[in-house]
Amino acid sequence: LQNQNRRIYAAKPYDSIAVISGKVGYENQSKFAAAFKKMTSMSPSEYQNSKIELEVRQATSSILSCLSL
């Protein structure tokens, strides 16, 4: 798959890195992680965590906006 697709799969926080690597055609999880890090400058788990943190911040901001109405 395209590099962009690897990012999309990695953005799903409920999928393990082993599952993601298999989905994009890597039999070896370590090789997938190395290729992903070379492409994005982040490990797959760092990328997932950054996506989760962003979602939490956005949700918190929305909740706070609703409460201040």
More confident residue, 62 or 4: 62
Report the predicted TM-score, pTM, of the whole model to 2 decimal places: 0.66
- Pair 63, 69: CB distance under 8 Å: no
pLDDT digits (tens, 9 = 90+) for 16-35: 888 888 877 888 999 989 98
Q: What does the pLDDT look like over 36-68, one tens digit per residue?
A: 898 889 998 888 888 777 778 888 888 888 887
Per-residue pLDDT at 2: 62
Give the pLDDT score at 28: 92
Residues 6+ apart with CB under 8 A from 65: none
Residues in the chain: 69
